[in-house]
């Protein structure tokens, strides 16, 4: 089945002479359970697309569907519920609360989610069973990103949106984080939509969408997916 579909999705920031056409009529279909990588140069509109599909922002024109729900028709309150109940986000810079432990950061989500995991179980899934009482400053970059992934998966989201999830990590740590994402995809069946400008990351995807200048240039199905450990 289809997780997401967009048709004619357009995004214009600003107006008049200063208008920026970030998305120029994007038609896209993302199958449920796939790992999809959106690859393209900086400024090509990848984050804008991710933010609109993730319900953080709205398009200017066109339609976005999550299963058979039309995001473009939702009220702000409905969009907030969609974000809270169905999707998880992982960003380049973790966005953890520095004054809270790893477990407490995950609890921020599990306390309001409809059907959450146990916070310690989520942290164990990303290999941090021994670090649940650590504060972010006591963790390495890769560990902090794994806390962010634990927080994102603890609500058992159907979809995980990742914006440059390995962008701040060295390549070995980045591979470990990609492996965690792949395990989540395999064990929970979550659809993963990942934005990156790192072409190597694309090797682990089911599908790679090449993006440039606000539009899709080509979509490639990856028949010989590499495991993250094989990625350079
Ligand atoms: P990158 O993809 O290179 O990490 P960003 O996606 O954060 O960078 O930003 C890409 C471009 O979008 C930059 O040129 C930045 O100036 C511009 N940009 C991002 N956010 C805003 C904003 N809120 N207002 C204006 N311009 C922005
Ligand atoms: P990418 O994620 O591929 O780097 P973005 O989606 O961040 O690209 O940006 C696409 C275009 O939209 C860029 O030209 C950027 O400068 C512009 N842009 C992004 N966010 C904003 C914003 N909040 N206000 C104005 N322009 C923005």
- On the 0-12 / 13-18 / 19+ scale of CB atoms within 10 A, 178 is buried
- Calculate how far, in angstroms, residue 209's C-alpha sits from the geometric centre of ligand 2: 18
DSSP sequence for 42-96: TTSSHHHHHHHHTTSS--SEEEEEETTEEGGG--HHHHHHHHHHHEEEE-TT---
Report how many helices (DSSP H) and strands (DSSP E) the chain contains, helices first: 6, 10
pLDDT, position 96: 95
- Calculate how far, in angstroms, residue 158's C-alpha sits from the geometric centre of ligand 2: 26
pLDDT exceeds cutoff 80 at 222: yes
pLDDT exceeds cutoff 80 at 232: no
C-alpha–C-alpha distance, residues 130 and 50, integer Å? 33
pLDDT tier at 15, thresholds 50, 70, 90: very high
Global confidence as pTM: 0.84
Ligand nearest to C-alpha 211: 2
Average pLDDT over residues 109-114: 90
Token pair recorded at residue 164: 């440059």
Q: Is the CB of 11 under 6 A from ligand 2?
A: no
Average pLDDT value for the chain = 92
pLDDT tier at 208, thresholds 50, 70, 90: very high
pLDDT tier at 200, thresholds 50, 70, 90: confident
Average pLDDT over residues 128-147: 95
- Calculate how far, in angstroms, residue 223's C-alpha sits from the geometric centre of ligand 1: 33
pLDDT, position 37: 94
C-alpha–C-alpha distance, residues 206 and 40, integer Å? 17
Output the ligand 1 site: residues, CB below 6 A. Answer: 42-43, 47
Ligand nearest to C-alpha 45: 2
In Å, how far from its chain's centre is CA 146? Answer: 13
DSSP sequence for 120-144: HHHHHHTT-GGGTT--GGGS-HHHH
C-alpha–C-alpha distance, residues 99 and 151, integer Å? 16
Token pair recorded at residue 194: 């990942």
As beta bridge partners, residue 6 has: 28, 64
pLDDT exceeds cutoff 90 at 78: yes
- Calculate how far, in angstroms, residue 1's C-alpha sits from the geometric centre of ligand 2: 30
pLDDT exceeds cutoff 90 at 191: yes
ipTM surpassing 0.85:
no
pLDDT, position 187: 87
pLDDT tier at 47, thresholds 50, 70, 90: very high
Which numbered atom of ligand 2 lies nearest the CA of 23? 10
C-alpha–C-alpha distance, residues 15 and 23, integer Å? 14
Tell me the Cα Rg of the chain: 17
Tell me the pLDDT tens digit for each residue of 152-182: 999 989 999 999 888 888 888 888 888 888 9
């Amino acid at each position: 089945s289809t997780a997401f579909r967009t048709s004619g999705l357009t995004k214009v920031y600003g107006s008049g002479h200063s208008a920026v056409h970030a998305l120029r009529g994007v038609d896209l279909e993302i199958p449920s359970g796939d790992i999809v990588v959106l690859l393209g140069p900086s400024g090509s509109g990848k984050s804008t697309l991710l933010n609109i599909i993730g319900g953080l922002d709205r398009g200017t024109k066109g339609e976005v569907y999550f299963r058979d729900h039309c995001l473009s028709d939702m009220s702000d309150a409905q969009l907030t519920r969609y974000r809270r109940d169905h999707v998880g986000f992982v960003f380049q810079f973790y966005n953890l609360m520095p004054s809270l432990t790893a477990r407490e950061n995950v609890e921020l989500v599990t306390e309001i989610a409809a059907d959450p995991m146990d916070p310690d179980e989520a942290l164990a899934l990303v290999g941090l069973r021994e670090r649940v009482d650590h504060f972010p400053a006591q963790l390495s970059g890769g560990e902090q990103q794994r806390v962010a992934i634990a927080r994102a998966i603890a609500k058992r989201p159907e979809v995980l949106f990742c914006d440059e999830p390995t962008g701040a990590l060295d390549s070995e740590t980045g591979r470990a984080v990609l492996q965690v994402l792949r395990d989540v995809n395999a064990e929970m069946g979550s659809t993963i939509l990942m934005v990156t400008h790192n072409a190597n990351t694309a090797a682990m995807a089911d599908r790679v969408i090449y993006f440039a200048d606000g539009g899709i240039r080509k979509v490639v199905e990856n028949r010989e997916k590499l495991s993250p450990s094989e990625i350079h």
